[in-house]
Structure 1
Amino acid sequence: MGLLHRTAIRAERWFDRVRPRKRPERPVLDAYRGYAQPGGVVLRGRVLASLRRTTPDPGQSRWQNMREMLSLFLTDEVAHVDVTAPGHDITVQSDEEGYITVEVPVADPKPGWYDVALEIAGDPDSRKIFRAMIPSPDARLGVVSDIDDTMMHTGAYSLARNLWTTFTGSATSRRVFPDSIVLMDHLSNHGRNPIFFVSSSPWNLHAFLERVFDRAGLAAGPMFLRDLGISETQFISGTHGDHKGSAIDRILNANPDLPFILIGDTGQHDAEVYLEACHRHGGRIPAVILREPGPGPDDASRAAMAAIRRLGVIVAHGSDFGHVAEELRKAGVTL
């Protein structure tokens, strides 16, 4: 991987010399859902040359869907741009991939979505509202869930099927599992318990996934997606397991008083990732829930599920989530 990383860096530098990017006169902000941490909120987003969005139409062809979905990946990020939070006297600078992270102190947090206006320094017309979710003080637990083949049908266990589903679907055709909608509403206790989504999907799909989830009525929560860019310090943001594991750590560290239920599927090694999370956060994970898509769990997933159970963690698994609420109730998990 080291050789491939170095080769990719050289190729990117060569391409930039041959076809240098013209810095846009007025870059724009793309806002992602943020989250709370002790003492404040964390806002996340990106500085881009322009925003790209799909325009879903139930009647449009798969070819048109593919053209629109591909366009989401053709973003031009803008590095080294100062972004300010005027009401909080905070300034940060976009990194080499255009990403920004802004930590804003909140003295008297109220549960719900906390709004902060951010703008590109010197351009008040670029102002955009960034939102962060502040959990209720009455929350009894948190939920971290995978997305692909857990919340919605993707076929991520098969690369060819995954690419076909991703690039030929639209926000009107992508299917969120009905049992996932019901389960997440149940686990969130109709909004009292916070929900977080962790996926290896790229940040380019954030607005698309928001639209799909909102249209389906899925419980809303911050997303922790993946940077597919190439930098001096990373090559496509590490592995699927590294990304998901570090996101789980950030979420649990940001909510130190809450236990967490982890939800995923057996198609992308979630059982193994969650086993390691159970080891790192002993006693804070009462249950792991796994959907079994496609061919079902392989030997590694079955071994990981058995190891999770030996740690005293409930493991609920199957081809759907219809039985999960009852299993958790019988096991004494309090929502």
Structure 2
Amino acid sequence: MALVKRDKIIVEPFLAFGNEDEVFFKGRVIKAYTEKRPSSRNNWFSNIISAVKRYSGSSVSLAKVEITFQGKSFIVSTDEDGVFELQIGDSKPSTEINEYVTYQVLEPVTKKSSVVHMEVVRYSGNLGVISDIDDTIIISHSTDLGKKFWLSISKNAYTRRPLPGVSEFYKKITEDMEIPIFYVSSSDWSLYDMIRDFLKYRHIPNGPILLKDKHINLKNIWKSGGGDHSHKLKKIELLMEMYPEMQFYLIGDSGQHDPEIYAEVIKNYPGRIKDVFIRIVGKLDENRENELKNLAGFDHFHFISSSKEAIQIVENESIFN
């Protein structure tokens, strides 16, 4: 019996957010597969079967998707990985309490094509948070390929473990979710629902999740979360441009390239970064730490070993501000 039953073409909606003037939409078109909801009771074998199904899902390239928002329709095409996106300007909030966008696959034509709705969330204010995911909020062992691969296929949203104290730290830095938070990661879109469910299950503040566009399948599943991380800079730039009135906290880890990317953001957007928190993974090279601080020319570049330490920094700054 086949592991994957592909009998329906669907839109997986990923993003629908914006500011007071423009909105950004993103999603993927795939041939659906049958899958039960994960559970904390699932064993490693069940999770591996689920991972096989997840990465066996077939993205539909060059599909046509109709995006309907505020009574206007826009037609977009998916790329080679089945991903589409659309940014619309001159879109003031409607008078409705909640705004929704509708996605529908127009091509390829299928009897079982469905319509999907997603709430549009608009953010404003003068402060926001941008955070990495792997080894920043969720234990991933990104510097150890074998451990990372095993975790990615043998665990699910309810059995993956967060870094100690992350929920408390993120609630503190977002002022109990009053400040918007955005997640930027090198994980691929196949992990979107796992990350979303993980955040909810672990009581970590929810926010838009911006992942790596390149599709991962069964042949290259071991590459998930790896490779070139320049896309993270581009996604941070999108947020900086969309919210020009905001200063941001940046949160990441030292295991990959977060410190270098954040140093680049500080240089490119002077005065826009309030603090940087880098969680130390393994042993931090002292020369690297000094070079990064000098490169950024920024006093608020904090290398932390625990969430408790980060909370103390935030609380101390609140006292003196």
- TM-score category, normalised to shorter length: 0.7 to 0.9
Select 2:73's aligned residue among 68, 89, 98.
Answer: 89
Select 2:57's aligned residue among 60, 68, 75.
Answer: 75
Question: Which residue type is aligned with residue 196 of structure 1?
Answer: F
Asked if 2 retains the 8 angstrom alpha-carbon contact of 1:140 and 1:334, the reply is no
Q: Alpha-carbon deviation of 1:264? A: 0.4
Distance in 1 (CA, whole Å) between partners of 2:201 and 2:226 is 31
Q: Structure 1 residue 242 and structure 2 residue 230: aligned?
A: yes
Deviations 1:122-167 (A, max 9, x none): 77961101344311x4x33111100011011111121111111111
Asked if 1 retains the 8 angstrom alpha-carbon contact of 2:15 and 2:24, the reply is no
Change (3 A) 1:301 1:36: farther
User: How many residues of Structure 1 are paired with residues of Structure 2 in the alignment?
Assistant: 304
Matches within 5 A, 1:203-242: 203-229=189-215, 239-242=227-230
RMSD: 3.0
Q: Alpha-carbon deviation of 1:329? A: 3.9
2:12 aligned residue: 30
Asked if 2 retains the 8 angstrom alpha-carbon contact of 1:110 and 1:134, the reply is no
Matches within 5 A, 1:216-295: 216-229=202-215, 239-293=227-281, 295=282
1:119 aligned residue: 104
Asked if 2 retains the 8 angstrom alpha-carbon contact of 1:133 and 1:221, the reply is no
Distance in 2 (CA, whole Å) between partners of 1:316 and 1:226 is 26
Higher mean displacement: 52-61 or 106-115: 106-115
TM-score normalised by the chain length of structure 2 = 0.84
Asked if 2 retains the 8 angstrom alpha-carbon contact of 1:203 and 1:225, the reply is yes
Distance in 1 (CA, whole Å) between partners of 2:238 and 2:21 is 15
1:130 aligned residue: 118
Distance in 2 (CA, whole Å) between partners of 1:182 and 1:156 is 23
TM-score normalised by the chain length of structure 1 = 0.81
Distance in 1 (CA, whole Å) between partners of 2:198 and 2:268 is 33
Q: Structure 1 residue 307 and structure 2 residue 294: aligned?
A: yes
Distance in 1 (CA, whole Å) between partners of 2:286 and 2:313 is 24
2:42 aligned residue: 60
Deviations 1:280-327 (A, max 9, x none): 11111121001113x23235641344226x623412222211122332
Q: Secondary structure at the match of 2:76?
A: strand
Q: Secondary structure at the match of 2:136?
A: coil
Unaligned runs of 5+ in 2: 1-5, 217-222
Q: Secondary structure at the match of 1:182?
A: helix
1:15 aligned residue: none
Higher mean displacement: 296-305 or 64-73: 296-305
Distance in 2 (CA, whole Å) between partners of 1:118 and 1:91 is 10
Matches within 5 A, 1:92-107: 92-104=76-88, 106-107=91-92
Question: Which residue type is aligned with residue 120 of structure 1?
Answer: V
Change (3 A) 1:323 1:100: same
Distance in 2 (CA, whole Å) between partners of 1:120 and 1:76 is 15
Distance in 2 (CA, whole Å) between partners of 1:109 and 1:260 is 27
Unaligned runs of 5+ in 1: 1-23
